[in-house]
Amino acid sequence: MTQDAAENKSSIGSSVKKALAKAGITRLIIFTFFIVLCIMADAAGISVPSMLGFTVKRAGMYGVMALAMLPAIQCGIGLNLGMTLGVLAGLVSTLLCIEYGLTGWPAFLFSAILGSVIALPVGYLYGKLLNKLKGSEMTVSTYVGFSIVSLLCVGWMLFPFKNNALTYALGPGLRPTHNMNTSYGALLNNFMAFRIGKMTIPTGMVAFFLLCCFGMWLFSRSKTGTAMIAAGSNPRFAEAAGINVDQMRMIGTILSTVIAAVGIVVYQQGYGFLQLYQAPRQMGFIAASAILIGGASVTKAKVSHVIIGVTLFQGLLTLGIQVANKYVPGGGMAEAFRIIISNGIILYALATSGGASRE
């Protein structure tokens, strides 16, 4: 008993150190950077509250897509950069929704549900592929994502969509950008939205995102969920407990693809536009870096990582671009900064977390 007490005492002594380690050095650095940006923005005369409002809006927009990374990491396939498959399923369902001329809540639900339904078989085939190529999932999923985007560039030209709201007037093919206002644009954003000073809170979207997170949290506590996480974090342990590891990876992959499909629908309603052709290419990277910044590694992730990560990432992006534009004048710089900042964050997140997780 006395030894126990002694051990407890020493653990209290090192609790500060532990808390620091728990918060994660990467997250702390990024958070500090975020605070510095806020101060710089304020000094430059940018309204910080309205920027924070934008941050919340963007976090809600990208949140569900970042959540799609969670089951992928948990089941052991790592960062699912091929979640573009799910994104494309969501795009197809939204196109059908516009094609059929649906509006409002029916439009949103139709796109989300049909997107998920399309994502199921797609995710199944993708999962089969990943189970055959264990060990190099990151590379495979990256190129699956790239090639399917290119393949669908052909598809967008060939699919027999008839609604003139979608197609080019002359010749076949879908136009690259579509306004969502006629279907479900800003539907969740405006649902019970309210303002605090200069900050607009898109209640519906944030609530939807948190609802999805809650669902994933519940899943992670279910029998299947615990089995999936075990299969991801230690396949040999899972096998020795009689778990079919391939099946668990399959469940994680399908889940990731389905959530990505719902994610793009949420994204489009927040963004107000549907973008085709090369636009979905980078979605996987944005989602991956968000969850990495949140403290996840390539092998371990929690719901909290998604929420923290997506907020920090979008906060940095929103503020970073504004501040950079203020301090470095010149119109053409905005786009360059956007690319430098977003890719820089991705690289930083990958470099710090990818290294630590591979013991």
Report the C-alpha gap between 301 and 295 in whole angstroms. Answer: 8
Q: Considering only residues 233-262, where is the footprint of another protein by CB under 8 A?
A: 233-234, 236-237, 239-244
* 171, two tokens: 């010749």
d(CA 212, CA 240): 32
> Closer CB to another protein, residue 175 or residue 281?
175
3-class SS at 1?
coil
> With binding defined as CB under 8 A, does residue 165 bind another protein?
yes
Interacting stretch for another protein, rule CB under 8 A, among 36-44, 119-127, 164-172, 280-288?
Answer: 164-172
Inter-residue contact 16 to 302 (CB < 8 Å): no
**Angstrom distance (rounded) from CA 149 to CA 276:** 9
Q: Is 130 helix (H, G, I), strand (E, B) or coil?
A: helix
Angle between helices 84-99 and 104-132 (to 10 degrees): 150
Closer to another protein by CB, 110 or 267: give it: 110
Other Cβ atoms within 10 Å of 135 Cβ, number: 7
Query: Smallest distance from the beta carbon of 148 to another protein, in angstroms?
Result: 25
Taking CB under 8 A as the criterion, the residue among 226, 278, 304, 343 binding another protein is 226
For another protein, what does the binding mask look like between residues 101 and 130, x meaning CB under 8 A? xx---x---x--x-----------------
Stretch that binds another protein, among 24-32, 49-57, 82-90, 163-171 (CB under 8 A): 163-171
Q: Would you call 272 helix, strand, or coil by DSSP?
A: coil
Residue number, 31 or 161, with CB nearest to another protein: 161
Which residues from 262-301 bind another protein, rule CB under 8 A? 300
For 64, half-sphere exposure in the C-beta direction (CA atoms, 13 angstrom radius) is 30
Residue 139 binds another protein, judged by CB under 8 A? no
Length of the chain (residues): 359
Q: Which is nearer to another protein, 163 or 343 (CB)?
A: 163
The 8-class DSSP code of residue 321 comes to: H
Site for another protein in 8-47 (CB under 8 A): 8, 11
Nearest to 188 by CA among 291, 64, 84: 64
As given in the structure block, the two tokens for residue 105 are 């809540």
By CB under 8 A, is residue 5 in contact with another protein?
no
**Which among 76-84, 122-130, 231-239, 332-340 is the span making contact with another protein, rule CB under 8 A?**
231-239
Rounded Cα gap, residues 98 and 182, in angstroms: 8
Does 100 bind another protein (CB under 8 A)? Our answer is: yes
Q: How far is the CB of 124 from another protein (least distance, A)?
A: 19
Amino acid letter, 111:
S
SS (H, E, C) 181-200: CCCCCCHHHHCCCEEECCEE
Tokens for 209?
Answer: 């995102």
Residue 345 CB, nearest distance to another protein (Å)?
25
Return the residue of 17, 195, 223, 358 that touches another protein, per CB under 8 A: 223
Nearest distance, CB of residue 206 and another protein, angstroms: 24
Out of 135, 169, 195, 331, name the contact with another protein by CB under 8 A.
169
Q: What CA–CA distances, in Å, run from 43 to 117, 262, 315?
A: 49, 39, 17
Stretch that binds another protein, among 2-10, 50-58, 254-262, 277-285 (CB under 8 A): 2-10
Q: Least distance (Å) from another protein to the CB of residue 188?
A: 19
Binding site for another protein (CB under 8 A): 3-4, 7-8, 11, 99-102, 106, 110, 113, 162-165, 168-170, 175, 182, 218, 221-223, 226-227, 229-230, 233-234, 236-237, 239-244, 300
